[in-house]
Amino acid sequence: MDDFSKEEWSGLSGASRGDCTTSYNPFISHDFLSALEDAGTVSRQTGWQPQHLRLETSGGTLIGAVSCYLKSHSQGEYVFDHGWADAFERAGGRYYPKLQVSVPFTPATGPRLLVARGASEPTVRAALAGGLKTLTDRLGVSSAHVTFAIDEDIELLEEAGFLPRTDQQFHFRNEGYGDYADFLDTLASRKRKALRKERAAAVQDGITIDRLTGKDLTEAAWDDFFRFYMDTGSRKWGRPYLNRKFFSLVGERMADDVLLVMAKRNGRYVAGAINFIGGDRLFGRNWGCIEDHPFLHFEVCYHQAIDFAIERGLKVVEAGAQGEHKLARGYMPVITRSAHYIAHPGLRRAVAEYLERERQEVAQIGEYLEEHGPFRKG
């Protein structure tokens, strides 16, 4: 990211609050992407070697970019291709390294083919899609993967020869609610009563909830949150992806875009979740705790996020990857999209057949879950 000035990168659509604040996505900002690199969480050593693409005019003006990484594994992506890698290597191929277009460790949808404000979006996106395919072939790597991309990017990537893939997340949509009670009024009676009881039970045992953002994000608060993150991450993944330095850099560079929801008991914090604030949505990311309390995870991660989004007038809460338990708490199924360029013809055919079946299954599951949401019928 040091190859781009913050000023020129911030001129890309969605990369800063800029001219259209609603489109701002904090994960494609120069602050966030450079913090990952400066903290050492993204590097050749961690298997995420930055290989960013830039598209410029003959005069050297940046008109497009792609945050891209040369990868030696498939960890931290949340769109799984381990089976493809295993099959290709058992057949004598070499799957790694590969190119990955994404925000590391972040399953949040956003623009991936980044266009400078004022430039022709279809033209620049098409050039970037073609350039990514060309780079894959020139480097001689097996594949390129563009994950959690917006529809406009997927359309042009398909035209360039990428295979489309779908998956599913759960998002809360703010339908102009005045407060949480307004949201509850849209639920079926049984679901409404269950959530009231759940929220009351979560703050028993003298638990209180604090929301920290901006100047309230002190190093002491980051120390507490990092302890939660390491405890939960070590049990869940074996080795958490982010380090302590990353959180300090994020707090220093983009404190107003961060929301820590922290649970306190007996004068100390015992659990917390980090969220990032976009132009029109809240992105829930990591959670951790050092004490187990019934329903506290749901309160800190999901209910408090809804409260905050309603208060701020944000349209959507993206609650991260997976988790059908989110459905009962007002988070409905949403299709996420990715696109994959496979250089080897045989592997490409096999993956294409698999993806066609997978897309049908994802659509069917989404329809089923939509029918079983918590909202009142009609």
Q: What is the DSSP letter of 39?
A: T
CA distance 348 to 341: 8
> Environment class of residue 147 by beta-carbon count within 10 Å: exposed (0-12), middle (13-18) or buried (19+)?
buried
CA angle in degrees (0–180, nearest 5) for 369-370-371: 90
pTM of the predicted model, to two decimals? Answer: 0.96
How many other CB atoms sit within 10 Å of the CB of residue 207?
18
| Strand intervals (E) in 176-233 | 208-212
For the chain, first and last CA: distance in Å?
Answer: 49
CA distance 120 to 112: 16
| Strand intervals (E) in the chain | 48-50, 53-56, 62-66, 68-71, 98-101, 114-115, 143-146, 163-173, 208-212, 258-265, 268-277, 281-289, 316-321, 332-342
Tens of each residue's pLDDT in the chain, 378 residues:
999 999 999 999 999 997 667 799 999 999 999 999 999 999 999 999 999 999 999 999 999 999 999 999 999 999 999 999 999 999 999 999 999 999 999 999 999 999 999 999 999 999 999 999 999 999 999 999 999 999 999 999 999 999 999 999 999 999 999 999 999 999 999 999 999 999 999 999 899 999 999 999 999 999 999 999 998 766 655 578 999 999 999 999 999 999 999 999 999 999 999 999 999 999 999 999 999 999 999 999 999 999 999 999 999 999 988 789 999 999 999 999 999 999 999 999 999 999 999 999 999 999 999 998 999 986
